[in-house]
Copies of this chain bind each other. A is one copy, B any other.
């Protein structure tokens, strides 16, 4: 993070490095980044119908004012739109508009938009650059860095997609104030995950500025988004295609995905991952892999982010999902376990195989909070 409070993080990917700009006002740099990626001077700005009127249209206007020819496209907000169908419609619309291989995609929105827009870019005319403009904590901290793009299909989330690193990421922390507080809480869970697996001091800092982060204080947000991006970048740089250590980023996600699916996605991704982290910490402690007390530290830190009125999920439904997921992904589910806060325990590679009964116990424990 630079002294002016704006972060600039370089991420090395196989296709070349890209920069993640973090700070209030970096949205204004979108046109320059887009112009560098679109030699033909034409861009498709993709947003959803909720973020579009607030930020997507503004990005389109900034690009137009910069002399770029803009095709502005929107889709209906929500995870239900992250489909092959939306992807087909968007690519057809871009073809109808005559965008060539010297164009680029600018994706403005949350994780659904950065994943979907990224997959459009990955496959349009066999690939055009994408400039990611994440507008939520979740997208800034997690979705827009690392190059994972994709859509959901019948068998599960993110099962079809591509690795397509962005040409640039512009994370404007001033826009976080336009996000509902609850969504801010959802996204911050991923920051705590980064602290839990990689950096104890960062984890401690997060617990001390949680209120400021939830209030979208730009100084706190810029520092945290920058640090999380940096931590994630260091992991993905060394394992771009998730063959090894990148799997540690899945801490909390094996069980989290199951809980999310069992709620029929009524429960937010962040809440589900928070519960997943607690469950996986409990499993770790039960098996002696994780230091005693880690689960309690995590629970205290995540408490301000959890909404007590959230959807209830049955442990048996989550368990059923885990065994169907086993089939969809080929093989038994694998779990990332902590050694302590800030350190993942090495297992077989970076993951552990866990008895079904222990998983069932963990699910009952974290889902039966009442």
Q: Which listed residue (B102, B158, B327) contacts A98, Cβ 8 A?
A: B327
Please measure, in the bound complex, the distance between the C-alpha atom of A36 and the C-alpha atom of B328, giving whole angstroms: 22
Q: A123-B162, A126-B148 are in contact. Are A155 and B329 (CB under 8 A)?
A: no
Smallest beta-carbon distance A307→chain B, Å = 31
Q: Give chain A interface residues in 129-187, CB to chain B under 8 Å.
A: 148-150, 153-156, 158-163
Tell me whether A126 and B161 are in contact (CB under 8 A): yes
Stretch binding the partner chain, chosen from A89-97, A194-202, A229-237, A293-301: A89-97
Tell me whether A160 and B123 are in contact (CB under 8 A): yes
Tell me whether A125 and B327 are in contact (CB under 8 A): no
Instruction: Mark interface residues in A247-286 (1 if CB within 8 Å of B CB, else 0).
Output: 0000000000000000000000000000000000000000
- A100, A123, A126: which has the most chain B beta carbons within 10 Å? A126
| Residues of B contacting A103 in the complex (Cβ-Cβ under 8 angstroms) | 330
Q: Is A292 an interface residue (CB 8 A)?
A: no
Query: How big is the A interface, by class?
Result: 35 or more
Q: Is A29 an interface residue (CB 8 A)?
A: no
Instruction: Mark interface residues in A27-49 (1 if CB within 8 Å of B CB, else 0).
Output: 00000000000001010000000
Which 3 pairs across A and B sit closest by C-beta, in order of nearness?
A100-B330, A95-B155, A98-B327
Question: A14-B15, A125-B160, A126-B163 known; 17 other A-B pairs, CB under 8 Å?
Answer: A84-B84, A84-B88, A91-B159, A91-B160, A92-B155, A95-B159, A98-B328, A98-B329, A100-B329, A100-B331, A101-B329, A123-B123, A123-B150, A123-B160, A125-B159, A126-B149, A127-B162
Chain A interface residues (CB < 8 Å from chain B): 14-15, 40, 42, 84, 88, 91-92, 95-96, 98-103, 122-127, 148-150, 153-156, 158-163, 241, 326-331
Supply 30 A–B pairs (Cβ within 8 Å), ascending by A: A40-B330, A40-B331, A42-B330, A88-B153, A91-B160, A92-B153, A92-B155, A95-B153, A95-B155, A98-B328, A98-B329, A98-B330, A99-B330, A101-B330, A102-B330, A103-B330, A123-B123, A123-B150, A123-B160, A123-B162, A124-B160, A125-B159, A125-B329, A126-B149, A126-B150, A126-B158, A126-B161, A126-B163, A127-B162, A127-B163
